[in-house]
A and B are shown apart, each in its own frame.
Chain A
Amino acid sequence: MPYIRVLPENKIIKVTQGDRLLDILIENNIKIPSYCGGAGWCKKCKVKILDKGISLACQTYAEEDLTVELLKEESTDINIQKEFLEDNNFILSPVITLQAFSLQIPSLSDLRSDLERILSVKENIYLQDISVLRRLPTFLRRNNYKGNLVLFKEEIIDIREEELKSVYGIALDIGTTTLVGHILDLTNGSDIDSYSTENPQLTYGADIISRINFIIHNPEGLQILRDKLIKAITEIIQDLCIKNNISLNDIYAISIAGNSVMTHIFLGVTPENIAFSPFVPAFRNGMIFNSKDIFGNIFNAKLYVFPLISGYVGGDVVAGIIATNLLNEKGNVMLIDIGTNGEIVLKSEDTLFACATAAGPAFEGSNISHGMIAKKGAISHVWLEETVKFEVIGDMEEKGICGSGLLDAISVMLDLKIIDHTGKFMKGGEFYIGKVKITQKDVREFQLVKSALRAGIEVLLNKAGIIYKEIDKIYIAGSFGSYLNRKNAIKTGLLPHIPLEKIILVGNSAIGGAKIVLLNRFLMEDVEKIKEKVNYVELSSDKKFQEYFIKFMYFEEEDQCLIREEKD
């Protein structure tokens, strides 16, 4: 049986031949990030194998003795959180705290009730959960008047034994395509582990409109979609707890960042009106619930749902605003979250503007002949050396092409003059990258999506009365955002012509924000203000949008500087 030596700790593990390295590391409690659950696309589990070079732990099998060196985490999601913590003198003040107590035992000279005794432990605390009150008298007498109060801000939400040392929180990003969960130790702020899985609603359509359609046309539709979602989230939470040896009883806070439609479905509120003009959501406020009302009795946590900006700019974007610290940025800063939809936020002086366009048809491949999401078998990068080179996720034969690959492919096709500046094939009507064909129609789909996104950017700049040269920074978030080639994004006109160093890829900013609010209770209060500060721009009725949409459809070489226009 082979041995695995793990550096830098120099831990030696005896393994069964053929076992997967990622599983070995996880089973031996060696921390290694993996967001895709070992599917091979997130590339977070990179390790260095002595004499063999860099490799993905999920794609490496222990056939012989190996020396494995763990690499420093490169995850951009975690970086933004780190930057946030460093840049802003971030104070760790989690929403959940443990307050140890040791009370005076009642006597004839101290006749205070049990509750009064508990409330004297700390100033301003209060109790409103009747089940805690019911347990109080027995708990105090059994535990000799010693224990821990679990506080959510000032509210006593549980009373626990003296030995309890840590409490935990779960941050969740509910995407149309992917669900991501992180488990955090709320006593020290550490991010213990993460898990991601496909949204089980995918079988009911790739985009939010088809999900809404299902709800409209099926009397049980909302219930069905909600049950699927709750079940999947419960599994994520249980999985994170089991893997990390944490009791479900110690989970006390959950934050939920989801787009508007997913947030509605999660809470069991119909999202159908978001599909029709004037696109009004049922609610916008951020809210705090007891997890029991949604998940039943499997744990007893406070559940925080991020506020929404509009029907098409949801809690995931609000969380992104928090994660990138957009509110405190100086100058003109943009956050673009590219997923199934492309949401754009611009902060200019003290004003925020936001809008949304469709991105999925090209970037998630739904309208591309061999399009697919970024998973195993997808061409994720294309470039030119002497010939056309490409990279496939999972180091396997190419099955299709994902958004970042398509962006690169279009750029290569422009370089090779396969297509001209209008997007038309100069000769023939197909271009092959390996075995994957790109057609004229695919190029057109790309053009529609890129010009819509770019037109959205320009509309917001226009609203703020600035031009692209005045942009100080663009944060690109979202799954597509992690792989994006910035140079090609500019070349194809997806992004304006600004210096590359001003474009920063931040990965999943929604989960970043969801984590941050659990670690700083004051920020949770700030979040609520965001929805009031943002001016939402509905692009479909915006005249300028139509104009820009046409203007940016081609791949123009010239400087596409737009004339500064008066503020509305």
Chain B
Amino acid sequence: MEILKEIANAVISGDRKKVQELVEKALKEGITPEDIIDKGLLSGMSVIGERFKKNEIFVPEVLVSARAMQKGMEILKPLIAKSSNVIKGKIVIGTVKGDLHDIGKNLVAMMLEGAGYQIIDLGIDVPPEKFVQAIKENKPDVVGMSALLTTTMSQMKVTIDVIEKEGLRDKVKIIVGGAPVTEEFAKEIGADGYAEDAYSSVELVNRLLKVS
């Protein structure tokens, strides 16, 4: 359908107003919200993700596109049926205690949202207890932790230990990322996965949850 392609392109060019117009138009034409999200908004965002990974575009373009996508989501979310499978999974995400870096974590959240996941963003400087509480309240499939400093990345281990102690460890997959974090470090602290950039986090979560 032509209009879905147009929506995808509007997301790619980051045109928020156009996304809004086109989404409303598509709804009037009788296209389901699920299709608009999946074949319009998310397909546009996945192009952005790939371009970012290839270094063709940079942070500002990703943010502009993500905002355009979110505008469309705002309109569509209330309309999707509860049983709908357009939401692929639930993810709790946050930057660990002691660390105030926001942007990297936001990029990951946007990419995951753009890939069809529901995001519960706990923000920055998140203590282990808050992660635990969010797991109990939201029952997410995945918990994502971010740290930008070599000093704060040790908080990831602390947080995993607390989740373990609360008996929640096997209820969630835990993924970690951030500039100083490596694959080996992720293994060492007992995380389920590591992604080196925002777009790879989508592939990682898809793999962990066996979603294609």
Minimum Cβ distance to chain A for residue B135 (Å): 22
Contacts of B99 in A (CB 8 A): 276-277
* B151 engages A553 (CB within 8 Å): no
Complex Cα distance, B59 from A423, in Å, reads 11
A–B pairs, 6, beta carbons within 8 Å: A213-B150, A276-B151, A422-B61, A540-B100, A540-B124, A550-B60
Complex Cα distance, B55 from A276, in Å, reads 31
* A540 engages B59 (CB within 8 Å): no
Given contacts A209-B151, A275-B98, contact A422 B125 (CB under 8 A): no
**Candidate in A277, A422, A551 with the most chain B CB atoms within 10 angstroms:** A277
Residue A423 contacts which of B58, B63, B100, B102 (CB distance < 8 angstroms)? B58
Complex Cα distance, B61 from A444, in Å, reads 13
Given contacts A540-B100, A541-B100, A546-B103, contact A275 B152 (CB under 8 A): yes
Minimum Cβ distance to chain A for residue B154 (Å): 8
B149 at the interface (CB under 8 A from A): yes
Q: Closest residue to A447 on the B side, CB-wise?
A: B58
* A550 engages B151 (CB within 8 Å): no
Minimum Cβ distance to chain A for residue B158 (Å): 12
Minimum Cβ distance to chain B for residue A262 (Å): 16
* B56 engages A424 (CB within 8 Å): yes
* B55 engages A553 (CB within 8 Å): no
Complex Cα distance, B100 from A422, in Å, reads 27
Minimum Cβ distance to chain B for residue A557 (Å): 16
* A550 engages B59 (CB within 8 Å): yes
* A213 engages B58 (CB within 8 Å): no
B57 at the interface (CB under 8 A from A): yes
Residues of A191-218 whose CB lies within 8 A of B: 209-210, 212-213, 216
B101 at the interface (CB under 8 A from A): yes
* B60 engages A553 (CB within 8 Å): yes
B-contact bits for A420-464, CB 8 A (1 contact / 0 none): 001110000100000000001100100100000000000000000
Complex Cα distance, B63 from A553, in Å, reads 12
* B150 engages A276 (CB within 8 Å): no
Extra 13 A-B pairs, beta carbons < 8 Å, given A429-B55, A444-B55: A213-B150, A216-B154, A275-B152, A276-B152, A277-B99, A422-B61, A424-B56, A441-B55, A540-B100, A541-B100, A550-B103, A553-B59, A554-B58
State which size class the interface on B falls in: 20 to 34
Complex Cα distance, B59 from A232, in Å, reads 42
* A424 engages B60 (CB within 8 Å): no
List A residues at the B interface (Cβ < 8 Å).
209-210, 212-213, 216, 272, 275-277, 422-424, 429, 440-441, 444, 447, 538, 540-541, 546, 549-551, 553-554
* B60 engages A546 (CB within 8 Å): no
A-contact bits for B138-170, CB 8 A (1 contact / 0 none): 000000000001111010000000000000000
* A275 engages B60 (CB within 8 Å): no
Complex Cα distance, B57 from A546, in Å, reads 19
Complex Cα distance, B68 from A128, in Å, reads 72
Given contacts A422-B61, A553-B60, A554-B60, contact A546 B102 (CB under 8 A): yes
Q: Closest residue to A423 on the B side, CB-wise?
A: B58
Count contacts between A and B, CB distance < 8 Å.
59
* A553 engages B150 (CB within 8 Å): no
Contacts of A216 in B (CB 8 A): 151, 154
* B59 engages A209 (CB within 8 Å): no
Complex Cα distance, B124 from A423, in Å, reads 29
* B58 engages A444 (CB within 8 Å): yes
Q: Closest residue to A440 on the B side, CB-wise?
A: B55
Given contacts A422-B61, A440-B55, A550-B63, contact A210 B103 (CB under 8 A): no
Complex Cα distance, B100 from A209, in Å, reads 15
* A422 engages B58 (CB within 8 Å): yes
Residue B58 contacts which of A424, A540, A549 (CB distance < 8 angstroms)? A424
Minimum Cβ distance to chain A for residue B110 (Å): 13
Given contacts A277-B99, A424-B56, A540-B100, contact A209 B61 (CB under 8 A): no
Main SS class of interface, B: loop
* B57 engages A422 (CB within 8 Å): yes
Given contacts A209-B150, A213-B151, contact A276 B58 (CB under 8 A): no
Minimum Cβ distance to chain B for residue A120 (Å): 57
Contacts of B125 in A (CB 8 A): 277
Q: Closest residue to B125 on the A side, CB-wise?
A: A277
* A424 engages B150 (CB within 8 Å): no
Residue A540 contacts which of B60, B63, B101 (CB distance < 8 angstroms)? B101
Contacts of A538 in B (CB 8 A): 100
**4 interchain residue pairs of minimum CB distance:** A276-B98, A540-B100, A275-B151, A440-B55
Minimum Cβ distance to chain A for residue B134 (Å): 19
Residues of B102-117 whose CB lies within 8 A of A: 102-103
A-contact bits for B33-55, CB 8 A (1 contact / 0 none): 00000000000000000000001
Minimum Cβ distance to chain A for residue B28 (Å): 34
Complex Cα distance, B97 from A212, in Å, reads 17
Complex Cα distance, B103 from A370, in Å, reads 26
* B149 engages A275 (CB within 8 Å): yes
Contacts of A447 in B (CB 8 A): 58
* A212 engages B102 (CB within 8 Å): no
Contacts of A444 in B (CB 8 A): 55, 58
Given contacts A422-B61, A441-B55, A447-B58, contact A549 B103 (CB under 8 A): yes
Minimum Cβ distance to chain B for residue A235 (Å): 30
Q: Closest residue to B100 on the A side, CB-wise?
A: A540
* B150 engages A210 (CB within 8 Å): yes
Complex Cα distance, B102 from A1, in Å, reads 67
Contacts of A423 in B (CB 8 A): 58
Q: Closest residue to A207 on the B side, CB-wise?
A: B150
Contacts of A429 in B (CB 8 A): 55
Minimum Cβ distance to chain A for residue B104 (Å): 11
Contacts of A441 in B (CB 8 A): 55
Complex Cα distance, B65 from A233, in Å, reads 53
Complex Cα distance, B55 from A541, in Å, reads 27
**Candidate in B56, B99, B150, B154 with the most chain A CB atoms within 10 angstroms:** B150
Residues of B85-102 whose CB lies within 8 A of A: 97-102
Minimum Cβ distance to chain B for residue A424 (Å): 6
Complex Cα distance, B149 from A538, in Å, reads 16
Minimum Cβ distance to chain B for residue A538 (Å): 8
Complex Cα distance, B150 from A441, in Å, reads 21
Minimum Cβ distance to chain A for residue B64 (Å): 9
Contacts of A275 in B (CB 8 A): 98, 149, 151-152
Complex Cα distance, B151 from A276, in Å, reads 8
Minimum Cβ distance to chain B for residue A374 (Å): 24
Complex Cα distance, B101 from A209, in Å, reads 15
Minimum Cβ distance to chain B for residue A65 (Å): 56
Contacts of B124 in A (CB 8 A): 540-541
Minimum Cβ distance to chain A for residue B194 (Å): 19
Contacts of B102 in A (CB 8 A): 540, 546
Contacts of A551 in B (CB 8 A): 60
Q: Closest residue to B63 on the A side, CB-wise?
A: A550
Complex Cα distance, B54 from A429, in Å, reads 11
Minimum Cβ distance to chain B for residue A275 (Å): 4
* B151 engages A212 (CB within 8 Å): yes
Minimum Cβ distance to chain B for residue A423 (Å): 6
